[in-house]
Amino acid sequence: MGLSWQQGPLSSGAIGRFLVPESLPGRLLYAEPLRRRMRVRFGGAWIADSEHVILLFEPGRYPVAYFPESDIVPGTLERIEHTTRHADLGTTSWYVVHSGEQAAQRGAWQHTDLPAYASELHARVAFAWRAMDAFYEEDERIIGHAADPYHRIDIRQTSRKLVVSHGDRVVADTTRPLVLYESGFAPRWYVPRDDINESALTLAKNQTFCPYKGICSYYDIGDARMAAWFYPETYPEVERISNMVSFEPDIVSVYLDGTQLRLEPGQSVIPHGPDRELTVEEVLPDRKR
């Protein structure tokens, strides 16, 4: 997912490679200015507000936002004795985050013994995403993790024939699917409702969240659990797939122009649930809070 997650170029499972004469280190960290105003809310108050956030990318992790100490409300951070050691960035000190009557143990951290090559992170603090009430870019809440500027989604209409079956039952048959291309993932195929035998679908209880598309709901198909999914109301940027259904080719049979699709590298998604205290309504298209 983006630069360092899933199969991005800085991830451990990258599908491409850098064309250089000598091998690169096994782990590459990358830091760059976010160039967006970012704010943190906790305990009913704004505790950080900065236009000078640095994003840190490291293999297998979502990008992490680091705020200058000067852009954090004084008295918010209380350093504790607990420390850890980052494999690349040295000693990490931890803080209790205070705001009003609330306190978040180990709610923030800072790398306090940085090597010279990581000077961009000097005197900067990162907040634990799930420990805070919310993160914002300007007045819009950012859900799940800091937005990856290298993450992209493109949706294309196609007339290719897509057939989905489970056992002897045809679940979907269409010549007008949408294909969604997303950074770090293999293509996903979305089918209009009119081309689906919806009697084959049973709504599952599970829901996950995509920071780029919204709340995702799932269907069981007979004994095939979580075999399909849909976004009841997507974010405006990807509204073309709103309420359309996509099917897991490793769980049910999916044929594209007569060729069976298989689970490809990068197609497995590691889902995560919503942020702490997040409601479904908060991640629908009107995200201003």
Each residue of 146-180: pLDDT tens digit? 888 899 999 999 999 999 999 999 999 999 999 99
140-152 tens-digit pLDDT = 988 888 888 899 9
Of the given ranges (96-100, 264-268, 273-277), which has the lowest mean pLDDT?
A: 273-277
d(CA 68, CA 57): 17
> What backbone torsions phi and psi does residue 272 show, to the nearest 5 degrees?
-140, 150
pLDDT at residue number 23: 87
* Residue % of the chain over a pLDDT of 90: 72
Beta-carbon contacts of residue 249 (< 8 Å; ≥ 6 apart): 260, 261, 262, 263, 267
> What backbone torsions phi and psi does residue 98 show, to the nearest 5 degrees?
-110, 140
pLDDT at residue number 3: 87
Question: What pTM, to 2 d.p., does this model score?
Answer: 0.83
Half-sphere exposure of 228 (CA within 13 A, CB side): 32
pLDDT tops 70 at residue 282? no
> What backbone torsions phi and psi does residue 71 show, to the nearest 5 degrees?
-100, 15
pLDDT at residue number 15: 82
CA angle 176, 208, 27 (to 5 degrees): 100
pLDDT at residue number 258: 97
Other beta carbons within 10 angstroms of residue 18's beta carbon come to 10
Tell which wins on pLDDT, 3 or 116.
116
Spell out where 128-177 has E strands. 134-137, 140-142, 153-157, 162-166, 169-174
77-99 tens-digit pLDDT = 999 999 999 999 999 999 999 99
Average pLDDT of span 252-264: 94
d(CA 103, CA 145): 21
pLDDT tops 90 at residue 5? no
What is the CATH code of the structural domain delimited by 153-283? 2.170.150.40
Q: Is 30-142's fold the same as 153-283's?
A: yes
pLDDT at residue number 12: 82
Tell which wins on pLDDT, 286 or 73.
73
Q: Where are the domains of the chain?
A: 30-142, 153-283
What is the CATH code of the structural domain delimited by 30-142? 2.170.150.40
pLDDT at residue number 268: 60
